């Protein structure tokens, strides 16, 4: 059991997962997401990120509160949810996303 988590959003998510009984030493599906300015860009992002080995899905949210958040791209990878690896993955994704005027806007994992 991890006792000290970094004092940031990623550390807070990991702490919350552990409090819900998630074993942070076991691999699980982690989804990172970003927003795209339109459908065409969303599919271009998905293709680029898939080339890096991620499974990607594009979502269209007609009820989004902001016009900038109508298209989302979720990029999934099976990994151990370790803080340093999550930071490294977000950095890798941000490098790939820089040409699309967006960045990784968070991550999560399904808790059963």
10-residue mean pLDDT profile of the chain (112 residues): values are 88 95 96 94 97 96 73 96 96 96 94 84
Alpha carbon distance 89, 20 (integer Å): 23
pLDDT score recorded for residue 67: 67
Domain span including residue 87: 28-108
Residues 6+ apart with CB under 8 A from 18: 1, 2, 24
Would 7 be classed as within a structural domain?
no
| CATH code assigned at 100 | 3.30.70.970
In a domain? residue 18: no
10 in any annotated domain = no
In degrees rounded to 5, what are phi and psi of residue 29?
-75, 120
- Cβ atoms 24, 81 nearer than 8 A: yes
pLDDT of 105 reads 93
Number of other CB atoms surrounding residue 8 within 10 Å = 10
Is 1 inside a domain boundary? Answer: no
Domain membership flag for residue 42: yes
> Is there a domain that residue 41 lies in?
yes
Count how many domains the chain has: 1
Q: Which candidate, 51, 10, 6, places its Cα nearest to that of 30? A: 10
pLDDT at position 2 is 75
Is the pTM here over 0.85, yes or no? yes
């Amino acid at each position: 059991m991890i006792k000290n988590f970094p004092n940031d959003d990623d550390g807070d998510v990991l702490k919350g997962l552990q409090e819900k009984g998630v074993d942070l030493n076991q691999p699980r599906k982690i989804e990172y997401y970003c927003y795209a300015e339109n459908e065409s860009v969303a599919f271009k992002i998905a293709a680029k990120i898939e080339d890096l080995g991620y499974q990607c899905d594009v979502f269209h949210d007609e009820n989004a509160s902001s016009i900038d958040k109508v298209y989302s791209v979720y990029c999934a990878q099976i990994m151990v949810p370790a803080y340093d690896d999550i930071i490294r993955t977000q950095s890798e994704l941000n490098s790939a996303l820089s040409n699309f005027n967006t960045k990784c806007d968070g991550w999560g994992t399904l808790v059963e």
